[in-house]
Amino acid sequence: MNKESVPMFKFIVIGDQSVGKSSFVKQYSESIFIETHKPTIGVEFVKKMVVVDKRKVELQIWDTAGQEQFRSMIKSFYRGAAAVFVLYSVNQRDSFEKLHEWLGELQESAHEEIVKILVGNKSDLDREISIQEAEKFMNGNNFSLFFETSAKTGQNVEKVFVEAVKLVIMRMFTSESFKNSIKTIKKTPANSRQNTSRNELQDDSNQIQKPIQLQVTPQAQKQEEKQCC
């Protein structure tokens, strides 16, 4: 059977509880929004095949729990990550003020060149954080990108993933150490979609996988270590 090689990028979504991390991932991977979302336990991930500049990329998007008790466990999941979406909720100042804590963890656990994206979610609600304040935070904390999104209306959700993939590809070309720190090359059977003429990042909806939930146990951590690097 013919094989093609598909790079796999691991993306992580972090931020306080209830800022909309799971909704953000669900809106991107399945184009749906659920008003009453159940809390995430530990870590979950979805896979999605996308095409950018005629090149297929598999995204593995890890959705983490914001609760305090899971934080130390989540640290090991930063390994091999190409990009991290750091979410706050534009209508919740608390979640914005806690961003420093999340950045502290990132600094301890992630590769120093990981692509960092600041996301102000719930842009459909009344804001407590202005765009200017968020941009100032972005510039002072070495983020590559800032977007306000709404997991409810879908505003900017697709776009922020598109830009993230482009930034990761660009950084792979400019930094050997970043390139070596991330992802694995995945072999998949060649199929008829590979000759697509699409040149923007688009969904390959047949390739969406349902979320897989990992209880964070020593076994789960071992599984992650095997997938990694």
Chain residues in the site for Mg ion (CB under 5 A): 21-22, 40
Could you please report the per-residue DSSP string of 27-51? HHHHS---SSPPPPPSEEEEEEEEE
Report if residue 177 touches ligand GDP, rule: CB under 6 A. Answer: no
Nearest alpha-carbon partner for 86 in 104, 72, 73, 69: 104
Instruction: Identify which of residues 15 and 80 has a Cβ nearer to ligand GDP in the complex.
Output: 15
Find the shortest distance in angstroms from Cβ 113 to ligand GDP: 26
Binding footprint of ligand GDP, residue count (CB under 6 A)? 19
Binding mask 36-65 for ligand GDP (x = CB under 6 A): xx--x-------------------------
Q: Which of 9, 11, 12, 23 binds ligand GDP (CB under 6 A)?
A: 23
d(CA 51, CA 190): 14
Spatial contact of 73 and 41, defined as CB atoms under 8 Å apart:
no
At 99, the amino acid letter reads L
β-pairing, 81-89 vs 3-15, is parallel
Find the shortest distance in angstroms from Cβ 193 to ligand GDP: 30
Is residue 88 classed exposed, middle or buried when 0-12, 13-18 and 19+ CB atoms within 10 A define those classes?
A: buried
d(CA 197, CA 83): 26
Find the shortest distance in angstroms from Cβ 87 to Mg ion: 10
Nearest alpha-carbon partner for 147 in 64, 10, 28: 28
Q: Which of 46, 151, 214, 216 binds ligand GDP (CB under 6 A)?
A: 151
Report if residue 95 touches ligand GDP, rule: CB under 6 A. Answer: no
Find the shortest distance in angstroms from Cβ 40 to ligand GDP: 5
Binding-site partner at residue 125 among Mg ion, ligand GDP, none, CB < 5 to 8 Å by type? ligand GDP
Q: List contacts with ligand GDP (CB under 6 A).
A: 17-23, 35-37, 40, 66, 121-122, 124-125, 150-152
